Structure 1
Amino acid sequence: MADKKVNPIGNAMGLLRIRVIRGINLAVRDVKSSDPYVIVRLGKQKLKTRIIKKSLNPEWNEDLTLCVMDPNEPVRLFVYDHDTFSLDDKMGDAEFDMRPFLDAVKSNSQGAPDGTVIRKLIPDRQNCIAEESCIVWKDGKVTQNMFLRLRNVECGEIELQLQWIDLPSSRGA
C-alpha cells in the first residue's frame, strides 16, 4: 500500500525560489522599532522568514521555495512585527504576478550572454513593484530582482530575488 502515495509535486510546473533579501524603511510598530518577519503565500502554501529583532531595515537573505501549480495565482507577502504577549502587528502586504517571470523562463534563453535582460517590468497601479525590475539571464539561470512597495501601511519596501528551479519531470513539458 505504501507505493500508492501521490507525489504532491507531480502536477507542478516547477519551483519558485524567493530570496527575501531585506526590508527597507519598515513601519515602527513597537516603541522605536519593530521585530519584523515576512510570510510568503502561494495558494495553500505558507512560508515564513525568521524574526529580526529591533530593526526597521532588516536583512534576512533567506530562501523560501514554493511549488508552482497555477501560474495565474499571485504570490502574496505579509510583513508582521513579532510581539511576545499580544497578537503580531501588521506591517503591510504586497503581491506580484509571477507570469512575466514564468514567460521569461519559458523563452529558453540558454546560450544568451550572461547578464542579458529578457524583460523589464515597470511599476504601475496594478502591481506593487516600487522601481523598474529586470528579468535577467545570469549564470545559466533566469533571475529577477525586485523591490515591492508595501500596501496598507505608512511606509516600507521588501527586496526580493526570484529564481526558477525546473523539476526533473517537467523538462519536456
Structure 2
Amino acid sequence: MEHLLGLLRIHIHRGVNLAVRDVNTSDPYVIIRMGKQKLKTRVVKKNINPVWDEDLTLSIAEPLPVKLEVYDRDTFSLDDKMGDAVFEIQPFLEAVKMRLHNLPNDTIITTVKPTRTNCLAEESHITWSDGKVVQDMVLRLQHVECGEIEVKLSWVDIPGARGL
C-alpha cells in the first residue's frame, strides 16, 4: 500500500467509427493494460459506434503508459483485434499534483497536443471539473484502418496511499 500513489479512473465513454470485423459490424470491447494490471469493458453487440459508459480503475504506483486495446468478440474463434492506442498519464498526474482548488468549472489547466508519438486524435484538455482534475481524450486507434475511442481520466486519492 505504501508504494501506491492512488487510483486512476478511466471512463471508457464510446467508440467512433470502429473497424468492421464481422460481416458488416463488430461486437467490440476494450481492454486496458498497465504493467501487470488488465481490465475489460463489457461487449457491445453489433455496433461500430458503441457506447460503453464504463469506469475502469487502475491502481497507480508509478506513471507507466496505459495501453488500450479494442477487440471484436467472436463466439467460435479468437477475438479479432480492432486496434490499440497507448497514452501517457504523466501530464495528467502533474496537473493533479498541483493540488488546485476552487477554480471555476471547466478551467483548462493544461492542453496536451496530438503528436506523432501519442495517439491523440485532437487536443486533449486537462480541466477542472466539479471539484477535480479530469482529462478528456479522443484516442486514434493504431494498427487498424479506422476508429477512435473517447475516454476521460480522473484521479482518486486513497487514504493510506503515498499520494502524488
TM range (shorter): over 0.9
**CA distance in 1: counterparts of 2:114 and 2:31, whole angstroms:** 23
* 1:59 partnered with 2:56: no
**CA distance in 2: counterparts of 1:98 and 1:37, whole angstroms:** 22
Q: Which residue of 2 aligns with 1:90?
A: 81
Q: Which residue of 2 aligns with 1:45?
A: 37
**CA distance in 1: counterparts of 2:49 and 2:35, whole angstroms:** 28
Deviations 1:44-71 (Å, cap 9, x if unpaired)? 0000000001000000000000000111
Query: What are the residue-to-residue correspondences of 1:1-173 with 2, within 5 Å?
Result: 9-71=1-63, 73-170=64-161
User: Contact 2:27–2:72 at 8 Å: present in 1 too?
Assistant: yes
Q: Give the gaps of 5 or more residues in structure 1.
A: 1-8
Question: What's the offset of the Cα at 1:10?
Answer: 3.5
**CA distance in 1: counterparts of 2:16 and 2:79, whole angstroms:** 19
SS of the residue 1:102 aligns to: helix
SS of the residue 1:31 aligns to: coil
TM-score, scaled relative to structure 2: 0.97
**Large movers: runs of 4+ above 4 Å:** none
Question: What's the offset of the Cα at 1:116?
Answer: 1.1
Asked which structure has the greater CA Rg, the reply is 1
Relative contact order: is structure 1 or structure 2 higher (C-alpha 8 Å, sep ≥ 6)? Answer: 2
Q: CA RMSD in A?
A: 1.1
**CA distance in 1: counterparts of 2:39 and 2:163, whole angstroms:** 29
Question: What's the offset of the Cα at 1:134?
Answer: 0.4
Q: Give the gaps of 5 or more residues in structure 2.
A: none
Counting aligned pairs with the same residue, the percent is 61
**CA distance in 1: counterparts of 2:38 and 2:162, whole angstroms:** 26
Question: What's the offset of the Cα at 1:27?
Answer: 0.2
TM-score, scaled relative to structure 1: 0.92
**CA distance in 1: counterparts of 2:160 and 2:102, whole angstroms:** 23
